[in-house]
C-alpha cells in the first residue's frame, strides 16, 4: 500500500517536472512547479521527514512560488523567442547537463547516502521525540553558531536587496501615514458663524 502511494506521488512528480520545462504558457509552468514541490513534500513526509516536508510547502509553495507567479504574470514573456536559440545553445547546455547527471550519479549511486552507512552522530535519540523537536534541539545546541551565522547572512541579503531597489524619485506623490494619523478635526474643519439677519428673503 505504502509502495503504491509512493509510486503515485513519484509519477505525478516526474510528470509535473517534465511539464515545467515543456509547458508553453509560463503561468502553467509555474503551477506545474508548485505541483512538483507539493509531491516532493509528500514524498519527504512519507520518508519520515515531516518537518522538511511541511516547511517545503510552507516556504516554497506558500511564499516563494507566490512571488514567482506574480512576476511571471506581470511580465509578458514571449516563449517563442526564448525557444529560438534552443539548437544554437545546445552545444553548451548538453555538456553541462551530462556533467550534472554524472555528479548526481556519483553521489547517489556510490552508497554514501545509504542510511545503513550514514554516521548516526553521537546524540542519543529518544524514541518518542518528533522530528521537528529533534531538529530544533540540534539546531540550537550543537549547530547554534552556524545557524546564527546563516541567519545574519540572510539578514544582510535582505537589507542589500531592499537598498538596491530603494530609490527616491522626484515628483512622485505619496502619502505620509504618520501625518495623516496626527490630523485632528480642527486642522480640516472650519465652523463658520453666519449672522442670522444676513439670511434674507426667508420671511
Partner 1 sequence: MAELIELVWILTKIGAILGPLILSVAYLTYAERKIIGWIQNRNGPNRVGPMGLLQPFADVFKLMFKEVVLPSNANRFLFLVAPLLSLMPALAAWAVIPFGAGLVLTDINAGLLYVLAMTSLGVYGVILAGWAANSKYSMLGAMRSAAQIVSYEIAMGFALVGVLMAAGTMNMSGIVQSQAGPIWNWFWLPLLPLFVVYWISGVAETNRAPFDVAEGESEIVAGFHVEYSGVAFAVFFLAEYANMILISGLAVILFMGGWYSPFHGLPVLGPVFDLVPDLVWFVIKVAGFLYLYLWFRATFPRYRYDQIMRLGWKVLIPVTVVWLVVLALMILAGFGPWFD
Binding site for partner 1 (CB under 8 A): 1, 25, 27-28, 31, 34, 50-51, 54-55, 57-58, 61-63, 66-67, 69-70, 73, 130-133, 175, 177
**Measured from the CB of residue 181, what is the shortest distance to partner 1 in angstroms?**
9
**Measured from the CB of residue 147, what is the shortest distance to partner 1 in angstroms?**
16
Query: Are 27 and 69 a contacting pair, CB within 8 Å?
Result: yes
Query: Are 37 and 65 a contacting pair, CB within 8 Å?
Result: yes
Q: Which residue has the cell 551565522?
A: 149
Nearest partner of 134 among 59, 70, 48, judged by Cα = 48
Helix (H, G, I), strand (E, B) or coil at 78: coil
Give the residue with the Cβ less far from partner 1, 10 or 55.
Answer: 55
Give all strands (DSSP E) within 34-187, no chain letters: none
Give the residue with the Cβ less far from partner 1, 106 or 155.
Answer: 155
**Measured from the CB of residue 13, what is the shortest distance to partner 1 in angstroms?**
17
Give the residue with the Cβ less far from partner 1, 5 or 102.
Answer: 5
What single-letter DSSP state applies at residue 143? T
Give the residue with the Cβ less far from partner 1, 182 or 196.
Answer: 182
Give all strands (DSSP E) within 77-143, no chain letters: none
**Measured from the CB of residue 131, what is the shortest distance to partner 1 in angstroms?**
8
Amino acid at each position: 500500500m505504502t509502495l503504491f502511494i509512493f509510486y503515485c506521488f513519484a509519477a505525478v512528480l516526474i510528470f509535473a517536472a517534465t511539464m515545467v520545462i515543456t509547458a508553453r504558457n509560463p503561468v502553467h509552468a509555474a503551477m506545474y512547479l508548485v505541483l512538483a514541490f507539493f509531491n516532493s513534500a509528500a514524498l519527504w513526509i512519507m520518508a519520515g521527514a515531516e518537518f522538511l516536508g511541511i516547511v517545503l510547502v510552507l516556504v516554497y509553495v506558500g511564499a516563494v512560488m507566490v512571488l514567482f507567479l506574480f512576476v511571471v504574470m506581470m511580465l509578458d514573456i514571449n516563449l517563442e523567442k526564448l525557444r529560438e536559440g534552443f539548437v544554437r545553445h545546445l552545444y553548451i547546455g548538453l555538456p553541462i547537463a551530462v556533467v550534472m547527471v554524472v555528479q548526481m550519479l556519483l553521489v547517489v549511486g556510490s552508497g554514501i547516502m545509504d542510511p545503513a552507512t550514514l554516521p548516526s552522530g553521537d546524540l542519543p535519540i529518544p524514541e518518542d521525540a518528533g522530528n521537528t523537536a529533534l531538529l530544533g534541539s540540534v539546531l540550537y545546541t550543537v549547530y547554534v553558531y552556524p545557524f546564527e551565522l546563516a541567519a545574519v547572512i540572510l539578514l544582510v541579503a535582505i537589507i542589500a536587496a531592499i537598498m538596491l531597489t530603494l530609490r527616491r524619485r522626484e515628483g512622485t506623490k505619496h502619502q505620509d501615514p504618520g501625518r495623516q494619523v496626527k490630523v485632528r478635526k480642527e486642522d480640516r474643519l472650519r465652523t463658520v458663524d453666519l449672522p442670522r439677519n444676513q439670511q434674507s428673503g426667508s420671511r
